[in-house]
């Protein structure tokens, strides 16, 4: 069975619907489990759509910075090895 992926905007919309109705009905309607619903609520609860977009931008920026740091550590280790072999 193909997994259905929801965007942050859709998730926040589902959580807003759940505030007015019951959780099992909302989960059944959207084809998700209650466990998924509670996980979404813990991550996105109380957020607006603009907050979710900013969170996604920050996660992307963080991933890029972590990659740059890892590359810098590799370069540093390579330079140390080259210098230690020359002495």
Residues of the domain holding 62: 49-87
Residue 3 and residue 71: Cα distance in Å, rounded?
Answer: 34
Residue 39 CA: distances (Å) to CA of 11, 25, 79, 87: 11, 17, 44, 55
Are residues 27 and 7 located together in one domain of the fold?
yes
Are residues 72 and 85 located together in one domain of the fold?
yes
- Residue 2's pLDDT is 58
Are residues 9 and 41 located together in one domain of the fold?
yes
What is the total count of domains within the chain?
A: 2
Are residues 13 and 30 located together in one domain of the fold?
yes
Are residues 4 and 39 located together in one domain of the fold?
yes
Q: What tens digit of pLDDT does each residue of 6-59 get? A: 888 888 888 888 887 777 888 888 888 889 888 988 888 888 888 888 988 999
Closest CA to 40 of 54, 26, 57, 61: 26
CA 57 to chain centre: 10
With cut-offs at 50, 70 and 90, classify the pLDDT of residue 64: very high
């Amino acid at each position: 069975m193909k997994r259905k992926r929801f965007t942050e905007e859709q998730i926040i919309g589902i959580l807003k619907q759940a505030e007015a109705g019951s959780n099992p009905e909302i989960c059944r309607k959207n084809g998700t489990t209650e466990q998924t619903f509670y996980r979404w609520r813990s991550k996105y609860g109380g957020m607006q759509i603009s907050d979710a977009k900013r969170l996604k931008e920050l996660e992307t920026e963080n991933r890029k910075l972590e990659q740059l740091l890892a590359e810098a550590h590799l370069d540093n280790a390579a330079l140390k090895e080259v210098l230690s072999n020359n002495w």
